Chains A and B, each alone.
Chain A
Amino acid sequence: AQKITQTQPGMFVQEKEAVTLDCTYDTSDPSYGLFWYKQPSSGEMIFLIYQGSYDQQNATEGRYSLNFQKARKSANLVISASQLGDSAMYFCAMREGPGDKIIFGKGTRLHILP
């Protein structure tokens, strides 16, 4: 069964608009972590943001914020004021113990339009 679900295969957003990338997860482990990574066309993986299951506040990193709704098991990434350089593949990932296994969703390809 899919443990990380990203329902948006692709998105087109106008430059300077905010964008929300959806991610839902499934785990029975009370201790887990959620990540978002960006993969430009070069193939490198860039860490964006992290949310721990016990964190009380939503994580923020610059223009990135994570909308963590624990009861709904969702961890959506919000990018404010999108830029052309934000065009990339975005992956949601989850770490669950024991053993620190980290699994990824299928990704969302974001296109920022000028």
Chain B
Amino acid sequence: SQTIHQWPATLVQPVGSPLSLECTVEGTSNPNLYWYRQAAGRGLQLLFYSVGIGQISSEVPQNLSASRPQDRQFILSSKKLLLSDSGFYLCAWSVGGTSGRHTGELFFGEGSRLTVL
């Protein structure tokens, strides 16, 4: 069966420090991968998504970046965190290639709660 793990679950970082959130999917190949951010009590903002290794689409210009060094690994990074980067970060995957009967349903990780002080 497929599983998704993201870590760390919780972190507190000072302004200006770097960030690395990691997400790994197991039990499937060539998944679509996504990073979302949810501010407190708000909706999910799509940050990045990837349909293959080295293919990253950025949705919101900001100080965050994403990389996909391996087929089932998705990393969210920042060189210098801002206060506004605080939030709940969710990694998700879906079956790649949804032109058929796949719905494209997202499977979410447990989330990473980031507090920037």
Chain A residues at the B interface, C-beta cutoff of 8 Å: 6, 31, 33, 35, 37, 43-45, 47, 50, 52, 91, 93, 95, 97, 99-107
Let me know if A97 and B98 touch, CB within 8 A.
yes
Residues of B within 8 A of A100 (CB): 32, 49, 51, 94, 96, 98, 104
Known: A44-B110, A45-B90, A97-B98. Contact between A102 and B43, CB under 8 A? no
In the bound assembly, the distance between CA atoms of A4 and B2 in angstroms comes to 29
CB distance from A28 to the nearest CB of B (A): 18
In the bound assembly, the distance between CA atoms of A101 and B92 in angstroms comes to 12
User: Which residue from chain B places its CB closest to the CB of A35 in the assembled complex?
Assistant: B105
A-B contact pairs, 14 of them (CB 8 A): A33-B103, A35-B103, A35-B106, A37-B106, A44-B108, A44-B110, A44-B111, A47-B107, A91-B43, A100-B96, A100-B104, A101-B49, A104-B46, A106-B43
Residue tally, chain B, CB below 8 Å to A: 27
Residues of B within 8 A of A99 (CB): 49, 51, 57
In the bound assembly, the distance between CA atoms of A73 and B106 in angstroms comes to 22
Per-position contact with A for B18-45: 1 when CB-CB < 8 Å, else 0?
A: 0000000000000010101000001111
CB distance from A106 to the nearest CB of B (A): 4
Assess whether B88 is interfacial by the CB under 8 Å rule. Answer: yes
